[in-house]
């Protein structure tokens, strides 16, 4: 797999932590790393935090972060117990490939569940017709330590472009939306579940365009980076978007620090599925959680506690 260039400046985020082999005592509180406040991770994670507090009887801290790559660092340092990550970033970290090749493999976390598709939105004003039209323009590619920045680099790559061909800006989703309205940027990348709050609000305030990825470029992207799946954003998902938009998606995944005891992870996994209705009430992506989809697209080991739950349900052997 190809490595993304040093322009992402991600290695510094991970620091030089060393893993901890000793198991933690039973949980008395839970730290859940999510993403920026305007993204799906945070909305979904806040609902999940309330479910955990109710069903586990534990105080939960829902942390705002720069999302996937930063969350790997938080798990690695012990500053988060559970975290949301993209399945592509999760795999790079676990096997020490791509942006993690210089740091080496991170084996101190495991999978709990795949949650929902994370869609790669490429958002611009109406005057930009396609991805190649971004050349020379000011484009937010997500925060520096984010899966969105990785996705942006890889999507540009299959169009024969790189960050050197644009004027990259590193903003979270909410700040990107505000900057687009203010005329400070010309477009931005946003990898999040649909509908994501920042885009819904933006589209209600201004006319926007979601740039499509052609079928040929989607095939090329998937051949280079097999974690992507083809995805179509249906017309009407956001105000003013009146036609289907073809793009790609990765999978949002809940992971856990390996120091957390199996009994606690089992209870968290059970609470996740028992709380589906409450999560869905907070964000439509909750409806996509299922026992079947939770174990798909997960190329790293499940935590023994999660594995026990899936075996009891007959999902895994």
**Which CATH number fits the domain that encloses residue 188?**
3.40.190.10
Through-space distance between the first and last CA atoms of the chain, rounded to whole angstroms: 31
Q: Are residues 134 and 177 in the same domain?
A: yes
Last residue of a domain, one of 202, 222, 250: 250
What's the pLDDT tens digit per position in 93-133? 999 998 899 889 999 999 999 999 999 999 999 999 899 99
What whole-number percentage of the chain has pLDDT above 90? 79
pLDDT in the model for residue 103: 87
For the segment 182-205, the average pLDDT, to the nearest whole number, is 94
Q: Which domain holds residue 233?
A: 119-250
pLDDT in the model for residue 108: 96
Burial call 247-266: b when 16+ CB within 10 Å, e when fewer: bbbbbbbbbbbbbbbeebbb
Tell me: pLDDT of 83 over 50: yes
Last residue of a domain, one of 197, 223, 250: 250
241's CB contacts (< 8 A; 6+ apart) are: 203, 208, 210, 233, 235
Q: Are residues 152 and 245 in the same domain?
A: yes
Q: Are residues 43 and 98 in the same domain?
A: yes
What's the pLDDT tens digit per position in 255-285? 999 999 999 999 999 999 999 999 999 989 9
For the segment 45-61, the average pLDDT, to the nearest whole number, is 97
pLDDT band at 22, cuts 50/70/90?
low
pLDDT in the model for residue 144: 81
Q: Are residues 151 and 186 in the same domain?
A: yes
Measured torsion, CA atoms of residues 173, 111, 82, 312, in degrees rounded to the nearest 10: 130
User: For residue 85, what are the β-bridge partners?
Assistant: 253
pLDDT in the model for residue 138: 98
Averaged pLDDT score across all residues of the chain: 91
Give ∠ CA 54-56-62 in degrees, rounded to 5: 70
User: For residue 230, what are the β-bridge partners?
Assistant: 248
Q: Are residues 37 and 91 in the same domain?
A: yes
Whether 10 is covered by a domain: the verdict is no
SS3 readout for 191-231: EECCCCHHHHHHHHHCCCEECCCCHHHHHHHHHHCCCCEEE
pLDDT band at 297, cuts 50/70/90?
confident
Q: Are residues 229 and 82 in the same domain?
A: no
Q: Are residues 92 and 175 in the same domain?
A: no
Tell me: pLDDT of 199 over 70: yes
Tell me: pLDDT of 7 over 60: no
Q: Are residues 73 and 93 in the same domain?
A: yes
pLDDT in the model for residue 145: 67
For the four alpha carbons of 194, 198, 199 and 205, in that order, the dihedral sign comes to positive
Q: Are residues 258 and 288 in the same domain?
A: yes
Tell me which of 39 and 73 has the higher pLDDT. 73
């Amino acid at each position: 797999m190809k490595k993304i260039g040093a322009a992402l400046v991600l290695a510094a985020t991970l620091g030089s932590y060393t893993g901890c082999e000793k198991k933690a005592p039973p949980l008395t509180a839970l730290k859940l790393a999510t993403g920026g406040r305007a993204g799906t991770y945070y909305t979904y994670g806040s609902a999940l935090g309330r479910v955990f507090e109710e069903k586990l009887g534990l105080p939960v801290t829902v942390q705002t972060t720069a999302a996937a790559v930063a969350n790997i660092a938080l798990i690695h340092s012990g500053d988060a117990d559970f975290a949301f990550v993209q399945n592509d970033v999760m795999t790079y970290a676990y096997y020490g490939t791509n942006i993690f090749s210089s740091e080496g493999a991170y084996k101190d976390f495991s999978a709990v569940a795949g949650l929902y598709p994370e869609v790669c939105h490429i958002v611009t004003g109406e005057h930009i017709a396609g991805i190649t039209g971004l050349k020379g323009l000011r484009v937010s590619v997500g925060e520096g330590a984010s899966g969105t920045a990785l996705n942006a680099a890889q999507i540009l790559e299959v169009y024969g472009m790189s960050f050197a061909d644009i004027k990259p800006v590193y903003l979270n989703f909410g700040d990107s939306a505000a900057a687009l309205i203010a005329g400070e940027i010309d477009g931005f990348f946003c990898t999040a579940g649909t509908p994501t709050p920042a885009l819904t609000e933006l589209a209600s305030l201004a006319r926007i365009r979601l740039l499509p990825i052609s079928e040929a470029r989607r095939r090329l992207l998937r051949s280079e980076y097999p974690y992507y799946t083809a995805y179509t954003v249906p017309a009407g998902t956001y105000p003013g978007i009146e036609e289907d938009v073809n793009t790609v998606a990765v999978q949002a995944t809940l992971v856990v620090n390996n120091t957390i005891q199996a009994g606690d992870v089992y209870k968290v996994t059970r609470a996740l599925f028992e709380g589906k209705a409450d999560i869905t009430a907070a964000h439509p992506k909750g409806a996509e959680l299922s026992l079947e989809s939770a174990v798909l697209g997960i190329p790293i080991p499940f935590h023994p506690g999660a594995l026990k739950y899936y075996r009891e349900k007959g999902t895994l052997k």
